[in-house]
């Protein structure tokens, strides 16, 4: 049962081949059996999950179910869940229990999905390997000596190991797409504003976007349909109708104009990864697409631009964690200043502290124009590159990450080398575009991801392209041998 797609599970529930409670138990048993090897989950609540599953079964008997009623899901621990611990992978929020659900959590619950638990993540979503979590690193199901990617590595690893059929994630600079690539699953970061950020703990507010993980494009389409949509509580939410993404998956790719940015295939790309993506491009051509070279001349500015802007926003967003209102508080502070200093020093990890310091520096009076303002100008140049590219092509395609999953500890002592793991994904967030990663092959037994990028609000097109590719390939059906 665990190896089925979400659509197949939903069909089994509809036809009475299993109940939601039985399905939830299958995945809870797999979590109990396998997650000691992966550390993909921070919180698991079997009692709560089974109660939701029984409610879903009752709902099905009454005839009021939707397409995902009774399907299990895991939420990244960055999304608030009422009466259930939400840590953001940090000691700062180790004991924090919210009083309400994030919008996407509430929408999933309203649709009858069953929450199995909360996934591990890089602390406050700051990381590319899921090694900065206060609760320990997550391991890649394809090789537990390697990273799953980050910051949504727990969600990606759980779906890849079939500990859950669906998971939510957040993407600030590639944190859905990069772990999806490294774990061999499908992950979608929607257009900025397409999915509500209300109830998502903020890292960098102009870049953060909630998104989805699934085995394949159809699974992601089904989940995105119910998560997306306007939310008046989120000032960045876009009031725009939500298409029926799953209804447009069968559209032919004949005449699709695929742009291949030369900058994605330059220095730093593992040759074998590039070769796998080239093979995938040939498959798209066989499906009727035409391939065109394009250029994103300012793509090289994306990493320094991102690591100026994101820390600046983080330093502001994380100032609320001061030991006074909620979160970690130091023992026996001598005075208010001591309370602030020690609470933050004890509550935050090394990478979070590094980014707070960088952000505070670039926002300071003497350096604002030289760094922050200049980075905003660079952001505009990057956005314009994409706009020009989409005047001549429909989607852009390239490798999601320049390499396959690297070993745990391999880059922890070199932050710049770690930051470059996201070199192909960051620009998409800077421009607010949708991006999707899907499996496109293997190198030495490790998954390779292919990234699809589209204009604003083209999620339906990206899912369509991914689905047509997945009809002709079986990379997305592969299971890590140790978790089959």
Could you read off the pLDDT of 228-254 as tens digits, one per residue?
Answer: 999 999 999 999 999 999 999 999 999
Q: What is the mean pLDDT of residues 259-264?
A: 97
Q: What is the mean pLDDT of residues 403-409?
A: 98
* 193/113 Cα distance (integer angstroms): 23
Q: Which of 20, 40, 76, 155 is catalytic?
A: 76
For the chain, give the mean pLDDT: 97
Which structural domain, as residue segments, surrounds residue 143?
A: 6-258+392-483
61: helix, strand or coil: helix
Phi, psi of 478 (to 5 degrees): -70, 140
Report if residue 123 sits inside a domain.
yes
Report if residue 171 sits inside a domain.
yes
* 422/174 Cα distance (integer angstroms): 6
Report if residue 238 sits inside a domain.
yes
Q: Which of 128, 133, 155, 175 is catalytic?
A: 175
Q: What is the pLDDT of residue 319?
A: 96
* 398/258 Cα distance (integer angstroms): 10
Q: Which of 40, 119, 151, 196 is catalytic?
A: 151
Q: How many CB atoms lie within 10 A of CB 237?
A: 20
373: helix, strand or coil: helix
Domain count, the chain: 1
Phi, psi of 335 (to 5 degrees): -165, -175
Q: What is the pLDDT of residue 1?
A: 84
Q: What is the pLDDT of residue 35?
A: 98
Find residue 261's DSSP bridge partners.
294
Report if residue 173 sits inside a domain.
yes
Q: Is the dihedral of CA 199, 205, 206, 207 positive or negative?
A: negative
Q: What is the pTM of this model?
A: 0.97
Report if residue 191 sits inside a domain.
yes
- Identify whether 175 is a catalytic site residue: yes
Q: What is the pLDDT of residue 259?
A: 98
User: Has residue 267 got a pLDDT over 90?
Assistant: no
CATH number of the domain that 237 lies in?
A: 3.90.1300.10
User: Has residue 63 got a pLDDT over 90?
Assistant: no
Q: What is the mean pLDDT of residues 352-380?
A: 95
Report if residue 413 sits inside a domain.
yes
Q: pLDDT class for 149, splitting at 50, 70, 90?
A: very high
Which residues fall within 8 angstroms of residue 29, CB to CB, at 6 or more apart? none
């Amino acid at each position: 049962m665990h190896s089925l797609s979400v659509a197949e599970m939903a069909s089994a529930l509809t036809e009475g081949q299993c109940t939601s409670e039985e399905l939830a138990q299958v995945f809870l048993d797999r979590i109990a059996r396998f997650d000691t090897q992966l550390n993909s989950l921070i919180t698991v609540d079997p009692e709560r999950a089974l109660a939701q599953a029984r409610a879903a079964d009752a709902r099905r008997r009454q005839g009021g179910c939707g397409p995902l009623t009774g399907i299990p899901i895991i939420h990244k621990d960055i999304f608030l869940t009422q009466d259930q611990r939400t840590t953001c992978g940090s000691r700062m929020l180790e004991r924090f229990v919210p009083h309400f659900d994030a919008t996407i959590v509430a929408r999933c619950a309203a649709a009858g999905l069953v929450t199995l638990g909360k996934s591990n993540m890089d602390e406050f979503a700051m990381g590319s390997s899921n090694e900065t979590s206060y609760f320990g690193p997550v391991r890649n199901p394809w090789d537990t000596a390697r990273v799953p990617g980050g910051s949504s590595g727990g969600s990606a690893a759980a779906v890849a190991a079939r500990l859950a059929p669906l998971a939510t994630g957040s993407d600030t600079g590639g944190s859905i797409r990069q772990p999806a690539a490294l774990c061999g699953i499908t992950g979608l970061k929607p257009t900025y504003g397409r999915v509500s950020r209300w109830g998502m703990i903020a890292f960098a507010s102009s870049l953060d976007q909630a998104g989805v993980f699934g085995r394949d494009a159809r699974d992601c389409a089904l989940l995105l349909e119910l998560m997306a949509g306007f939310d008046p509580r989120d000032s960045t939410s876009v009031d725009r109708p939500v298409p029926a993404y799953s209804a447009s998956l069968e559209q032919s790719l004949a005449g699709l104009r695929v742009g291949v940015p030369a900058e994605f295939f330059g220095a730093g790309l593992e040759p074998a990864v590039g070769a796998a993506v080239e093979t995938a491009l040939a498959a798209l051509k066989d499906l009727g697409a035409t391939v065109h070279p394009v250029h994103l001349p300012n793509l090289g500015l994306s990493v320094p631009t991102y690591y100026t802007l994101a820390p600046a926003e983080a330093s502001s967003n994380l100032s609320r964690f001061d030991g006074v209102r909620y979160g970690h508080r130091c023992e026996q502070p001598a005075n208010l200043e001591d309370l602030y200093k020690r609470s933050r020093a004890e509550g935050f990890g090394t990478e979070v502290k590094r980014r707070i310091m960088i952000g505070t520096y670039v926002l300071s009076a003497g350096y604002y124009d030289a760094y922050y303002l200049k980075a905003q100008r660079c952001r505009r140049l990057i956005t314009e590159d994409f706009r020009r590219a989409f005047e001549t092509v429909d989607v852009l395609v390239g490798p999601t990450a320049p390499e396959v999953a690297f070993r745990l500890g391999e880059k922890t002592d070199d932050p710049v080398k770690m930051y470059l793991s996201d070199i192909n994904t960051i620009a998409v967030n800077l421009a607010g575009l949708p991006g999707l990663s899907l499996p496109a092959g293997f190198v030495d037994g490790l998954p390779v991801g292919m990234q699809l990028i589209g204009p604003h609000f083209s999620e339906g097109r990206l899912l369509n392209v991914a689905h047509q590719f997945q009809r002709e390939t079986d990379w997305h059906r592969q299971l890590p041998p140790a978790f089959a």
